C-alpha cells in the first residue's frame, strides 16, 4: 500500500470542472489535483490511497472532493477566512495530521504493508504544508519504532512531490517532480526529553479523557522500564515487572490517536489548544517503540514471566543476544553474551546459590575490604544485571536458571528498590 497525502486548497467551480494536464514520470494525465495523477502512475504497481488534508475553514468542500480522494482528514485552521477567525495553532495541526496518518496505518496493518508515503507539497497554504512535512517526519519515526529491524529503510520510502505552478495558459502541461525524503531514527525513548512529572504526577486532562489515570501512568512507567532494560542490556528485570503485550501498546496508540481526531470532529479546538501537542506525539512514539521491542521478543516465542519459583532459564535469556543485535545494540549484546557464557561455567547445583559464592574468591572475596567497598551499581551494569550479591543460580532439571534474590524480586514487582532506581536513573528517578 502507498499513501499519497495532499493538502486541499480552495477549489472553485472552474477548478473542479476544468482538469489540468499533468506530466508525472513521463505519463500525461488529466486531473484536478496532482495527487490524482500520481495515483494513476503509482497505482500500476500496488494499491494507492489518497489522503486529503482539509482545513476546517474549507469544510464546505467535503462533498465536492469525495469523488477525487479516498479519505479526508479535517484539521484545525489558522487565521481569518470568510469573516470567521480560526484559533488553531501549528503544533495542534501537526498532531492532528500525525494522528490521522497513525490511524490510517493501523487500519491496514493486518492486511497490507505500507511501502511508501508520498506527500504533495505544492498546493495549500504554506503553514499547512509545513505542518504536513513535520507530521510526516514524526510519522516516519513512529513507523521506524514499530519495526526495529536494521533493514527497515529498504522496505519503506518517503517522497516529497511537487507540481509546477499553474500560470498563464490553462492548457499548459504541468510537470510533477519528486524528491526522496530522508530521515534518521535512533534507539532513544521519545518521552525521555519530556517532563515526566507531567505524565507521572500531574496528568493533563487531555490524556485523562481517554483512559483510567492510573492505568495510563502504569503504561508510561512500563514503557520506560522496557526501554531502559533493553538499552542497557540488562534483561533479567523484564521478567519481574509484568509487562503488557505488543498488542496492548497498539491499543493505547489507537485510543490516543482516535481520541485526538474525535475532538477535532466534535470541534473541541479550544480544549486541544491547551494541551502539549508535542508531548502527545512523543507518548505515541514511545508506545510504538515499546510495541516494536515486544514484537521482536514475541517473535522468538519468549514469555516474559518467571517460573513458579521466580527463575528464568539462561537459554531464554540467551535469545536476547540476537534481539539486541537486531535493533543495533551491539555493545549491550556482547556484554550480555559474555555474562551468560560465564554463568554457564559456574558449578551450579540443585541448591539455590548466590553468584558471590561461586564466582572467583567465594566467601573470602565476599568478606574482603575490596568487596565491601565496591560500587554495586557499577558492577550491576558491568555484568549485564547479574550482580553477584543480587542473583541466585540453580541447576534445575538439567537446565541452568537464575533469579533475583527475594527482596530484589519483590521490589521490582512493586517498581521500586535499588535495581529499579539504577535502571531508570535520569528517566524516572534522579
What per-residue confidence (pLDDT) applies to 337? 96
What per-residue confidence (pLDDT) applies to 213? 78
User: Is there a contact between 288 and 239 (Cβ–Cβ < 8 Å)?
Assistant: no
What per-residue confidence (pLDDT) applies to 275? 74
281 domain-assigned:
no
276 domain-assigned:
no
Q: Is the pLDDT of residue 298 over 70?
A: yes
Same domain, 142 and 10: yes
Domain end marker among 137, 162, 185? 185
Work out the pLDDT band at 22, boundaries 50, 70, 90: very high
Cα–Cα distances in angstroms (integers) from residue 276 to residues 27, 78, 244, 343, in the given order: 44, 18, 26, 47
121 domain-assigned:
yes
191 domain-assigned:
no
209 domain-assigned:
no
Grid coordinates representing 10?
A: 480552495
- Structural domain of 135: 1-185
Work out the pLDDT band at 12, boundaries 50, 70, 90: confident
What residues contact residue 114 under an 8 Å CB cut-off, 6+ apart? 1, 2, 3, 105, 108, 143, 156
Give the Cα separation of 215 and 175 in Å (integer): 52
How many independent structural domains does the chain possess? Answer: 2
Give the Cα separation of 373 and 123 in Å (integer): 67
What per-residue confidence (pLDDT) applies to 373? 44
**Lowest mean pLDDT segment, chosen from 141-145, 234-238, 369-373, 379-383:** 369-373
Q: Is the pLDDT of residue 149 over 80?
A: no
User: Is there a contact between 270 and 87 (Cβ–Cβ < 8 Å)?
Assistant: yes
DSSP letter at 71 equals: E
DSSP letter at 249 equals: H
54 domain-assigned:
yes
What residues contact residue 402 under an 8 Å CB cut-off, 6+ apart? 236, 311, 312, 314, 317, 343, 386, 391, 392, 393, 394
What per-residue confidence (pLDDT) applies to 212? 77
pLDDT in tens, 76-129: 888 888 878 787 889 999 999 999 999 999 988 566 889 999 999 998 888 999
pLDDT in tens, 371-382: 444 688 889 999
180: three-class secondary structure by DSSP? strand
DSSP letter at 164 equals: P
Task: State the maximum Cα–Cα separation within the chain, in Å, rounded to a whole number.
Answer: 93
What per-residue confidence (pLDDT) applies to 264? 82
Domain end marker among 133, 161, 185? 185
pLDDT in tens, 366-422: 443 334 446 888 899 999 999 999 999 999 888 999 999 999 999 888 888 888 888
Long-range contacts of 186-190 (CB under 8 A, 24+ apart): 187/148, 187/231, 187/327, 187/328, 187/329, 189/223, 189/224, 189/227, 189/231, 189/286, 189/289, 189/427, 190/141, 190/145, 190/281, 190/282, 190/283, 190/285, 190/286, 190/289
Work out the pLDDT band at 269, boundaries 50, 70, 90: low
For position 408, which CATH number holds? 1.10.3740.10
Grid coordinates representing 128?
A: 499547512
For position 134, which CATH number holds? 3.40.50.10640
pLDDT in tens, 321-371: 999 998 889 999 999 999 999 999 998 889 999 998 886 655 444 443 334
What residues contact residue 342 under an 8 Å CB cut-off, 6+ apart? none
What per-residue confidence (pLDDT) applies to 16? 80
Domain end marker among 128, 151, 185? 185
Amino acid at each position: 500500500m502507498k499513501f499519497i497525502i495532499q493538502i486541499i486548497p480552495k477549489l472553485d467551480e472552474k477548478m473542479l470542472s476544468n482538469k489540468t494536464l499533468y506530466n508525472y514520470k513521463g505519463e500525461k494525465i488529466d486531473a484536478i489535483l496532482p495527487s490524482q495523477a500520481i495515483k494513476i502512475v503509482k497505482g500500476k504497481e500496488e494499491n494507492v490511497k489518497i489522503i486529503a488534508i482539509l482545513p476546517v475553514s474549507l469544510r464546505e468542500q467535503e462533498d465536492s472532493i469525495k469523488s477525487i480522494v479516498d479519505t479526508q482528514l479535517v484539521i484545525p485552521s489558522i487565521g481569518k477566512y470568510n469573516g470567521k477567525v480560526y484559533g488553531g495553532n501549528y503544533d495542534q495541526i501537526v498532531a492532528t495530521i500525525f494522528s490521522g496518518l497513525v490511524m490510517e496505518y493501523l487500519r491496514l496493518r493486518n492486511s497490507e504493508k505500507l511501502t511508501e508515503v508520498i506527500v504533495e507539497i505544492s498546493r495549500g497554504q504554506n503553514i499547512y504544508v509545513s505542518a504536513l512535512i513535520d507530521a510526516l517526519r514524526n510519522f516516519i519515526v513512529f513507523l521506524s519504532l514499530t519495526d526495529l529491524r536494521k533493514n527497515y529503510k529498504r522496505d519503506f520510502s518517503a517522497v516529497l512531490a511537487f507540481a509546477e505552478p499553474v500560470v498563464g495558459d490553462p492548457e499548459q502541461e504541468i510537470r510533477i517532480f519528486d524528491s526522496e525524503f530522508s530521515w534518521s531514527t535512533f534507539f532513544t525513548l521519545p518521552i525521555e526529553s519530556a517532563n515526566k512529572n507531567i505524565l507521572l504526577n500531574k496528568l493533563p486532562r487531555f490524556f485523562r479523557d481517554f483512559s483510567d489515570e492510573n492505568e495510563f501512568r502504569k503504561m508510561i512507567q512500563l514503557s520506560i522500564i522496557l526501554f531502559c532494560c533493553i538499552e542497557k542490556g540488562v534483561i533479567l528485570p523484564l521478567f519481574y515487572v509484568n509487562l503488557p503485550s505488543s498488542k496492548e501498546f497498539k491499543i493505547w496508540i489507537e485510543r490516543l490517536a482516535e481520541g485526538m481526531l474525535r475532538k477535532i470532529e466534535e470541534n473541541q479546538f479550544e480544549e486541544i489548544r491547551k494541551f502539549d501537542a508535542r508531548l502527545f506525539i512523543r507518548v505515541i512514539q514511545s508506545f510504538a517503540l515499546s510495541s516494536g521491542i515486544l514484537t521482536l521478543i514475541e517473535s522468538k516465542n519468549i514469555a516474559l514471566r518467571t517460573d513458579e519459583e521466580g527463575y528464568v532459564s539462561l537459554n531464554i535469556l540467551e535469545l536476547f543476544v540476537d534481539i539486541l543485535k537486531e535493533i543495533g545494540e551491539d555493545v549491550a549484546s556482547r556484554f550480555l553474551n559474555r555474562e551468560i557464557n560465564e554463568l554457564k561455567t559456574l558449578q551450579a547445583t540443585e541448591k539455590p546459590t548466590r553468584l558471590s559464592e561461586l564466582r572467583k574468591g567465594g566467601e573470602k572475596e565476599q568478606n574482603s575490604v575490596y568487596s565491601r567497598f565496591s560500587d554495586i551499581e557499577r558492577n550491576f551494569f558491568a555484568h549485564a544485571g547479574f550482580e553477584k550479591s543480587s542473583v541466585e543460580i540453580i541447576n534445575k532439571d538439567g537446565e541452568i536458571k537464575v533469579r533475583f534474590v527475594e527482596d530484589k524480586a519483590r521490589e521490582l514487582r512493586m517498581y521500586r528498590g535499588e535495581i529499579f532506581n539504577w535502571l531508570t536513573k535520569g528517566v524516572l528517578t534522579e
